[in-house]
Amino acid sequence: MYFYGFTVWDLVLILPALLFAMYAQMKVKSTYGRFSQMHSARGLTGAQVARQILDDNGLYDVPVEHISGQLTDHFDPRSRVVRLSDGVYGSDSIAAIGVAAHECGHAVQYQQNYSPMRLRAAIIPITNIGSTLAIPLVLIGYVMSIQPLVTIGIVGFSAVALFQLVTLPVEFDASARAMRTIREKGILYDSEAAGARKVLSAAAMTYVAALLTAVAQLLRLILVFGNRNNRN
């Protein structure tokens, strides 16, 4: 059934997921923007905090580098480097410290062979293939009435949903490590740490949104094309 060019599954599955994703993006930007204007009492920059956390965990050989952009912060496990964005590297804001500590949490995960992180790294090649070829395979299989291609495409896209699912514990754990370190090392006072937690919680919401979107798209592929094949 169609409503102004959309299927019922677009309205039931995709639209709510996209609306939640939009809300999550607005939430993280507003929360980050708010706490990026609040300076920490100790005056440590994101780069200094990152260096301290890495050294405290014996990661002396993991450099902290500056990278351009906003919210482009990440830990690169291949190069074993923590990269901090313009608003984090040289900033002493509560938001900057929270983000820097979070990225160092990923570095510590990698050092300790944290299982979900290793699993996520292992399925990245499959995910890349699935995200690139899944939809074309489904469409080609449907148009040419080749059901195995449709099935392969759907299975391929399921790898995308699996990747997003595995990402959740990785991100949540990195944030938990960050907040634990911030408290134990006295990097932020309690009132400041609450702000850092809000920033990381808002960021975590975007990963939940990504999972919901991937699952909604996967269900749509199964329901829409499955129903069409049954009717055919």
Active site residues: 103
Closest CA to 158 of 136, 181, 186, 126: 126
Find the DSSP H helices in 57-146: 86-89, 94-111, 115-143
* Contact indicator for 208, 41 with CB cutoff of 8 Å: no
Contacts of 96 (CB under 8 A, 6+ apart): 36, 45, 46, 84, 87, 88, 89
Strands 64-66 and 81-84: parallel
Rounded Cα–Cα distance for residues 165 and 214 (Å): 9
Q: Which two tokens stand for residue 41?
A: 């009492």
